[in-house]
Amino acid sequence: MRDQVQLDIVSAEGSIFSGTVKKMTATGSDGALQVYPGHMPLLTPLKPGYVRITLPSDKRQVFYVSGGFLEIQPEIITVLADTAIHGENLDQQAALQAKERAEKMLQGKQSTQQARQELAIALAQLQVIRMLRRHMKQI
């Protein structure tokens, strides 16, 4: 059995990551999904959240995706994201401000699908930032 698989993370802006990984975890529409080499083929939607990877060197990286699709094939895993950002490039202050704006909209009469979506995006970005901070403390 293989111990590595090719992973490509792409968004409308271009390729964010391309390389081999030991495993990958993503936020699927029904919850977190771990993918290892040899995983059965699958196509599933992604919700705003994280993609966490473990490289062959055991180094971990975390990315934020705003949604999209995860396609798993025998030789390659592809994340087709609406937006994908390396976790280290996220702006915590901007995410906190977006969260506060969305919460105010939801408390008022402006409770819309857009406000719920903006809140989900902000919370997902903050989750990725927290994951990175926990990982940095373990080093």
Provide the pLDDT confidence category of residue 137 given band limits of 50, 70 and 90. Answer: low
> In Å, what is the CA distance from 39 to each residue of 23, 26, 43, 112, 121?
10, 14, 12, 38, 28
Provide the pLDDT confidence category of residue 62 given band limits of 50, 70 and 90. Answer: very high
pTM for this one? 0.79
| 9 against 128, higher pLDDT | 9
pLDDT digits (tens, 9 = 90+) for 45-58: 999 989 999 999 99
Average pLDDT of the residues in 1-12: 89
The arrangement of secondary structure in 5-87, i.e. its CATH architecture, is: Sandwich (2.60)
- Answer whether 62's CB lies under 8 Å from 50's CB: yes
Structure-block tokens of residue 51: 């993609």
CB atoms within 10 A of CB 88: 11
Q: Where are the domains of the chain?
A: 5-87, 90-138
Q: How far is CA 53 from the centre of its chain?
A: 10
